[in-house]
Amino acid sequence: MTDEGPAIGDDEPAESTFRLDEVLSPNVGRSLRKLPNLVAMALRITWRAARREFVVSAALQVTAGVAVAGQLLAGRQVLEHVVRGQVAGGFADTLPALAAFALLTAVVAFSSLASIEQQRLLTELTARFAMGQVLTVAGTVDLVSYDNPAFHDRLRRAQVNAQVRPAQMTSGVFGLLTSGFAILGIGGALLVIQPQFVVVVMLGYIPAWVITKRASRVGYQFALEQTERDRRRDYLAVVLTGKDEAKEMRAFGLSRYLRGRYEHLYDQRIVDMRTLVRRRLTLGLIGGLITSALTAGTVAVLVWFVVTGRTPVSAAGAAAGGVLLLGQRLQSVAASAGLLYESSLFLEDFASFLDLQPAIEAARPKGTPPPAFQRLVVEDVWFQYPAATSPALRGVSLEIGAGEVVALVGENGSGKTTLAKVLAGLYAPRQGRVTWDGVDVAECDPDRVRDAVAVVFQDFIRYHLTARENVVMGRPDRAADSDHFTTATARAQADTFLRRLPNGYDTQLGPHFFGGTDLSIGQWQRVALARAYFRDAPFLILDEPTSALDPRAEYELFNNIRELFAGRAVLLISHRFSSVRSADRVYVLHEGEVVESGSHEGLMARKGLYAELFTLQAASYLEAGG
Ligand code: ADP
């Protein structure tokens, strides 16, 4: 049994969702302890994504930090000259210090500017890299994850966070280092001049830090709470702007109704946002008041020292400058640390999403399925969707041999598509097994299993790419095989109309992009069939493959199905009973169970569900004909 599998739980159906549930629940509390790891992760991401920009940016920041310290020293020297000016030297003596001061000011200004520009690139490159990782995870998680809203919440946040957080965290680290470095310099100088002030100024920033941290947390909590609502709003925006939806929007006059829903969701967000802004402003105000009170107090004490003659004017002047600079730096430390803390919260969420990947890899079975099976056996298969309260498949058993056409029929919702997805290796059964020549598919690498299967889903995708790409994507590594391409399009009867397009097979399909041509739904279905032929797999699953085809195309497909797929195992799902008559075996599904099976004749003789549905359909055709 494959209790190793990521989407398989043994007893509780609800657990079939994930063993990955732990990584799916973000835990804010641990963030602070994890900060060093997260910082390391952010730096690693930045390093891998944008090494050069990282080094240049770091060098510029360090340069700026050193230059600021130099500025203070040069400034003090100028000041000393000013104070001593009347007694000795004269203006000429101050020139070197003044020149150094001017040069250092220019260095600070330029390195800060250059660093900002470098960070622009850095942000873009890290965002691309982080987004690439999100796409990798999204491409490898089991299909069942997509049935789970929690997964969609996480995916959305990961996408949003990938855009900014790693770069934000890196710049937070840089900012912290630069300011820290400058504080050491300024603080050191001040300690010599007026030690007591250093302590007071530093103490003044503790409340600023505590408050920044609190504000970050509030912001993070807000983002967490909004995710589901934001997704709903995004969904409505897609419906309101999508091409496929546009006709119903107009025909049913839905735009106003859905727009109302959209605005309502936005109103709720804005209300929450106002609360957030109020809370953050209040926090900022309190912090600002405490800090400025302390700064004002420090300056007042300084003035008092000068007035009462305890401190000479030059020392007080330097100290005042130092206190001011230190204050600025401490403020940027608080800002950088706040940024770091805030991005760490988001980055932890992001990191736990990326953790899905190793979990999937570790849980992935390593076995090799037979390249082409002679016999596929389904034994007592149960499956339940994560959000469902009852199983969609209940103890299904069936067999398909190579060279056979096996049909699956049943009413809507009886489980046909679900079974097709299980057989295609897209869903893992909760119980029971699927074997290929005796090899349990659940113990095989799912990529290899899927490699041997070609599926045409009833809701196949219309790719807005060229006609050729739409077909060769069935097996991209054979894209250059033109004979194979010709055969596939001809078998699907897609060759004639595709060749007639403005640029033939190289015509862009779909109206999304310039030069694009849309097809009729039936023509799209033939393209989807051509893709399946091109895949050339030993096991073929056709889920309502002719729903949009005209009667002639449908007749030809079913009539030639054996010839078209000679030697392959074919599972055919159809609600058109006439088309399944010639199947080797028909399985009738009802509420997730196989209730009847056999040949058409045998099933008719049984006078069960199949006979009833067949007769109903035949009668409706006759009535329509008569
Ligand atoms: P059929 O193909 O026979 O019409 P399906 O296999 O699509 O039926 O669906 C079988 C049952 O599973 C139905 O009750 C349907 O509502 C339910 N179902 C299908 N897809 C999902 C899903 N992603 N999440 C939850 N329930 C689903």
Is the pLDDT at 87 greater than 50? The verdict is no
Does residue 36 contact residue 80 with C-beta atoms inside 8 Å? no
Q: Quote the ligand 1 centre to 424 CA distance (angstroms).
A: 16
Our answer on whether the CB atom of 416 is closer than 6 Å to any ligand 1 atom is yes
| Pocket flag, ligand 1, residue 410 (CB < 6 Å) | yes
Nearest to 156 by CA among 48, 20, 46, 26: 26
The whole-chain average pLDDT of the chain stands at 84
If you measure from the C-alpha of residue 413 to the centroid of ligand 1, how many angstroms do you get, rounded to a whole number? 5
Q: How far is CA 475 from CA 135, 282, 490, in A?
A: 21, 59, 17
Least confident range from 116-120, 190-194, 505-509, 572-576: namely: 190-194
* Site to substitute for ligand 1 among 384, 389, 411, 418, most atoms within 8 A of C-beta: 418
What's the length of the chain? 626
Counting ligand 1 atoms within 8 A of each CB, the residue from 417, 456, 458 with the most, and so the one to mutate, is: 417
CA of 456 from ligand 1 middle (Å) equals 17
**HSE on the CB side for 472, CA within 13 Å?**
18
Partners of 590 in the beta sheet?
593
**Beta carbons of 256 and 177 less than 8 angstroms apart:** no
- Span 457-491, pLDDT tens digits: 989 999 999 999 999 999 999 999 999 999 999 99
DSSP-assigned letter for residue 450: H
pLDDT tens sequence across 229-265: 999 999 999 999 988 888 888 888 899 999 999 999 9
Tens of pLDDT along 409-466? 999 999 999 999 999 999 999 999 999 999 999 999 999 999 999 999 989 999 999 9
pLDDT in tens, 505-550: 999 998 888 888 999 988 999 999 999 999 989 999 999 888 878 8
Find, among 467, 394, 385, the residue nearest to 426 by Cα.
385
Q: Pick from 534, 395, 523, 506: which is nearest to 460 by CA?
A: 523
Neighbours of 516 (CB within 10 A): 14
pLDDT in tens, 93-124: 778 888 888 898 899 889 888 888 888 888 88
pLDDT band at 54 (very low <50, low <70, confident <90, very high): confident
What tens digit of pLDDT does each residue of 342-353 get? 888 888 888 888
Ligand 1 proximity of 147 Cβ (cutoff 6 Å): yes
Pairwise CA distance, residues 403 & 319, whole Å: 91
- Of the ranges 134-143, 186-195, 197-206, which is most confident? 134-143
Ligand 1 centroid–CA 179 distance in Å is: 58
Q: Is 389 in the pocket of ligand 1 (CB under 6 A)?
A: no
Who's near 576: CB < 8 A, 6+ residues apart? Answer: 546, 554, 617
Residue nearest to atom 24 of ligand 1 (CA): 385
Amino acid at 513: F
Number of C-beta neighbours around residue 115 at 10 A: 23
- Ligand 1 lined by 385 (C-beta under 6 Å): yes
pTM exceeding 0.75: yes
| Ligand 1 pocket, residue 458 CB under 6 Å | no
Tens-digit pLDDT profile for residues 24-42: 444 444 455 677 777 788 7
Q: Which helix (H) or strand (E) holds 221?
A: helix 195-241
Q: What six digits make up the tokens of 161?
A: 């966070």
The residues, ordered by sequence, that sit 6+ positions from 585 with a Cβ below 8 Å of its Cβ are 398, 399, 404, 406, 407, 597, 598, 599
Q: Which atom of ligand 1 is nearest to the CA of 573?
A: 2
Q: How far apart are CA 609 and CA 589, in angstroms?
A: 9
Which residue puts its alpha carbon closest to atom 15 of ligand 1? 413
Q: What is the DSSP string of 348-405?
A: HHHHHHHTHHHHHHHHS--B---SS-SEEEEEEEEE--TT-SS-SEEEEEEEEETT-E
Would you state the structure tokens that stand for residue 160, as one six-digit string? 């949003």
Residue 417 CA to residue 528 CA, distance in Å, equals 17
If phi > 0 it is left, if psi is from -120 to 50 it is alpha, else beta; for residue 515 that is: left
Q: From atom 10 of ligand 1, which residue's Cα is the shortest distance away?
A: 415
Quick one: pLDDT at residue 11? Answer: 36
Is the shortest distance between the CB of 149 and ligand 1 below 6 Å? no
C-alpha distances (whole Å) from 184 to each of 192, 194, 430, 440 are 12, 15, 61, 65
Q: What residue has token string 């069936």?
A: 398
What pLDDT score was predicted for residue 596? 94
Q: Rg for the chain (alpha carbons), in Å?
A: 35
Residue 88 pLDDT class (50, 70, 90 cuts)? low
Q: Annotate 579-602 with b (16+ C-beta within 10 A) or e (fewer).
A: bbeebebbbbbbebbbebbbebee
Q: And the tokens for 523?
A: 């023509």
- Is 70 near ligand 1, meaning CB less than 6 Å away? no
Beta partners for 573?
A: 408, 543
| Strand, coil or helix: 549 | coil
* Amino acid, single-letter form, for residue 239: V
Centroid of ligand 1 to alpha carbon of 392 (angstroms): 6
CA 282 – ligand 1 centroid, Å: 50
Rounded distance between C-alpha atoms, residue 503 and residue 460, angstroms: 24
